A and B are shown apart, each in its own frame.
Chain A
Amino acid sequence: MVVYALISRQAFRRYLTYRGAMVGGVLANTVFGIIKAFIMMAVWRQRPSIGGYDVADAVTYVFLAQAMIGPMSTLNNGLDIPARIRSGDIGTDLFRPCDFQAYWLANDLGRAAFSVLGRSVVPFVIGALLFHLHLPTDPRVWAAFVVALFLGTVVSFALRYLAAMSTFWLLDEKGVVGMATVVTSFFSGMIVPLVLFPGWLGQLARLLPFAALVQLPADVFLGKRSGGAVGTGYLFEIGWAVALLLAGRLVTRRARHRVVVQGG
């Protein structure tokens, strides 16, 4: 366990060095958040309640979603696996005396932890200063949100891991990873909140694993899920995380049989 904690810490420190990129990311997430907030305010001005969200909920949702771009890595794959397959460095990774998938999970959790501190907090705070946001007063809601966020990160990793592993067969990740990003950004509620989706599409979206990335943690934060509903939300996230991680293990085993490391 200690080794995975160390891997996470190293990943955290590695991302800490790219401060310019961090500033750019914070600024972009903030600017887009402000524009989206204005758009949502115009929608909610005409219909003060949609899917149980009032205007403060909607604007809060916007800034939560912007804050989650980093940790959930919704706009890119965020894993180095494809590049390392092409360069051959993946041979080293397969050789490490720890579990391959767990190694990358630890890596990604370190990246996500850095993202929360470096990229999520500032845009959300600026959003809270500029707009009227719905902030929970109960510390238990904050705690429940952090758990939902963590589980969502694991689901996000499991999805991105599957997409990245396709490189073992295709040698070029752009197609699969790009397509995964398209599907993720739509069904996670990143482009438009899921509450705005028409009936059947909204119901479908809430069953897919992508809902664990943005919509579900946001619902916990906004108090749309409380008490037992938080528990079922966790079960939803854990269920998808386990299923997708197991699928990842299966793929990893197949990939091990395929891989040919040249030279040496």
Chain B
Amino acid sequence: MAEQPVEPSFERRFEQRTPGAVATYLFTARMWGRSAMQYRASLVLVMVNSLFMASLELLGILVVFGNVSTLGGFSLPEALYLYGTAQAAFFTSDLLFTGTEYLAVRIRMGTFDSLLIRPVGMLPQVFADQFTPRRLTPMIPAFAALIVGLAKAPVHWTLLRAAMVPYTLLVGVVVFGAVWVLVGAFQIVAADASEVMNSVTYGGQFMTSYPLALYGRNLMLFLTFGLPLAYVNWQPTLYVLDHADPLGTPSFLRFAGPLFAAALWGVALLAWRAALRHHRSTGS
């Protein structure tokens, strides 16, 4: 039998050239993913748990709508669509970027330095840190809500509206991604108070899952022009479902997500750089 030419392994190809950001990310994510797969039974149980926990939140919305027919001017299908976009965007960003959440532990344990000395970029390594397929299952109820909501909501479909659905998810993931970078910067500087950022990440996930109209004018203004979580799903959804913004903002803001996302990424990257400069190794 003739010798098959051996395809060089992923690891080997990785070593052969100077790795770019994407290659670094994929390599690190693969490594952690394989590590998570070693405890298969545990992984399956945790995936089932994440699925149930995420489904429970959805059940909570259904219980609320058992009592009322609209919430913040949204009917049940519309609320489901809004909920689905927020959750799908958040959990996708959680899958891709959430490694920043483990930085505080790395700082405390002194293992942060082992990332710094590797001859590859920091952010891709950090994004993929502790990557695990566990984070896939919460997307099931998220997309279920999104699809059921879209199917049942009275949408006047146009090409632009249809294109707005994947666009919403994309911008949502990008906005949450910037938030995860901010989390990372904060964890480096204030490792002891890392839980403080939970209010922004998980709080943001929770906030964007419901119509922002519920939260009153001040909070809406803050989420539209301050911390721009309104562009995760609220602004584009107003366009898809043909609702007016209770703030009375001009309609071009429905499409302004990329602008605010870019601005937030700019701030986040500046914070990230400042945090890296601030870091003083323990020398361990």
Q: Which of A4-12, A34-42, A155-163, A243-251 contacts B (4 or more CB under 8 A)?
A: A34-42
Which residue of chain B has its CB nearest to the CB of A24?
B195
Give bound CA distance, A198 to B59, whole Å. 12
Q: Is B116 part of the binding interface, using a Cβ–Cβ cutoff of 8 Å?
A: no
Residue of B45, B194, B203, B214 near A178 (CB, 8 A) is B45
Residue pair A191, B214 in contact (C-beta under 8 Å):
no
As a 0/1 sequence over residues 4 to 34 of chain A, the CB contacts with chain B under 8 angstroms (1 = contact) are: 0000000000000001110111011011100
Which residue of chain A has its CB nearest to the CB of B66?
A198
Chain B residues positioned under 8 Å from A259 (CB to CB): none
Number of interface residues, chain B, beta carbon within 8 A = 40
Residue of A28, A175, A179, A198 near B199 (CB, 8 A) is A28
Chain B residues positioned under 8 Å from A19 (CB to CB): 192
Chain A residues positioned under 8 Å from B64 (CB to CB): 39, 43, 192, 196
Q: Is B144 part of the binding interface, using a Cβ–Cβ cutoff of 8 Å?
A: no
As a 0/1 sequence over residues 62 to 84 of chain B, the CB contacts with chain A under 8 angstroms (1 = contact) are: 01101111111000000000000
Residue pair B203, A28 in contact (C-beta under 8 Å):
yes
Residue of A39, A46, A174 near B49 (CB, 8 A) is A174
Residue of A21, A182, A196 near B63 (CB, 8 A) is A196
Q: Is A60 part of the binding interface, using a Cβ–Cβ cutoff of 8 Å?
A: no
Chain A residues positioned under 8 Å from B190 (CB to CB): 20
Q: Is A197 part of the binding interface, using a Cβ–Cβ cutoff of 8 Å?
A: yes
Q: Is A186 part of the binding interface, using a Cβ–Cβ cutoff of 8 Å?
A: yes
Residue pair A28, B202 in contact (C-beta under 8 Å):
yes
> What is the CB-to-nearest-CB distance from B35 to chain A, in angstroms, rounded to a whole number?
16
> What is the CB-to-nearest-CB distance from B205 to chain A, in angstroms, rounded to a whole number?
11
Chain B residues positioned under 8 Å from A30 (CB to CB): 199
Q: Is A172 part of the binding interface, using a Cβ–Cβ cutoff of 8 Å?
A: yes
Which residue of chain B has its CB nearest to the CB of A19?
B192
Q: Is A50 part of the binding interface, using a Cβ–Cβ cutoff of 8 Å?
A: yes
Residue of B195, B197, B206, B215 near A32 (CB, 8 A) is B206
A-B contact count (CB 8 A): 108
Give bound CA distance, A90 to B106, whole Å. 27
Give bound CA distance, A25 to B195, whole Å. 7
Give chain A interface residues in 183-197, CB to chain B under 8 Å. 185-186, 191-192, 196-197
Which residue of chain A has its CB nearest to the CB of B56?
A186
Q: Is A258 part of the binding interface, using a Cβ–Cβ cutoff of 8 Å?
A: no
Give bound CA distance, A185 to B192, whole Å. 27
Chain B residues positioned under 8 Å from A43 (CB to CB): 64, 67-68, 71
Chain A residues positioned under 8 Å from B219 (CB to CB): 38
Q: Is B251 part of the binding interface, using a Cβ–Cβ cutoff of 8 Å?
A: no
As a 0/1 sequence over residues 33 to 74 of chain A, the CB contacts with chain B under 8 angstroms (1 = contact) are: 001001101110011001000000000000000000000000
Chain B residues positioned under 8 Å from A50 (CB to CB): 67
Given contacts A20-B192, A27-B196, A185-B56, A178 and B63 within 8 Å (CB-CB) = no
Q: Is B5 part of the binding interface, using a Cβ–Cβ cutoff of 8 Å?
A: no
Give bound CA distance, A27 to B69, whole Å. 32
As a 0/1 sequence over residues 184 to 213 of chain B, the CB contacts with chain A under 8 angstroms (1 = contact) are: 000000101111111100110011001000
Residue of A32, A41, A172, A186 near B203 (CB, 8 A) is A32
Which residue of chain A has its CB nearest to the CB of B193?
A20
Chain B residues positioned under 8 Å from A20 (CB to CB): 190, 192-196
Residue pair A175, B45 in contact (C-beta under 8 Å):
yes
Chain B residues positioned under 8 Å from A174 (CB to CB): 42, 45-46, 49
As a 0/1 sequence over residues 248 to 284 of chain B, the CB contacts with chain A under 8 angstroms (1 = contact) are: 0000000000000000000000000000000000000
Give bound CA distance, A64 to B70, whole Å. 26
**Which residues of A are in contact with B by a Cβ distance under 8 Å?**
19-21, 23-25, 27-28, 30-32, 35, 38-39, 41-43, 46-47, 50, 172, 174-175, 178-179, 181-182, 185-186, 191-192, 196-198
Q: List 23 A-B contacts (CB under 8 A).
A: A20-B190, A23-B196, A24-B194, A25-B195, A27-B195, A28-B198, A31-B199, A35-B206, A35-B207, A38-B214, A39-B64, A39-B210, A42-B71, A174-B42, A175-B46, A178-B45, A182-B52, A185-B53, A185-B56, A186-B59, A191-B56, A192-B64, A198-B66
**Which residues of B are in contact with A by a Cβ distance under 8 Å?**
39, 41-42, 45-46, 48-49, 52-53, 56-57, 59-60, 63-64, 66-72, 190, 192-199, 202-203, 206-207, 210, 214-216, 219
User: What 11 additional pairs, Cβ within 8 angstroms, besides A46-B68, A196-B64?
Assistant: A24-B194, A24-B196, A27-B199, A28-B198, A35-B206, A38-B215, A38-B216, A38-B219, A178-B45, A185-B56, A186-B60
Q: Considering the complex of A and B, which 8 residue pairs feature the smallest CB-CB distances, nearest first?
A: A24-B195, A178-B49, A175-B45, A20-B192, A20-B193, A31-B199, A191-B60, A31-B203
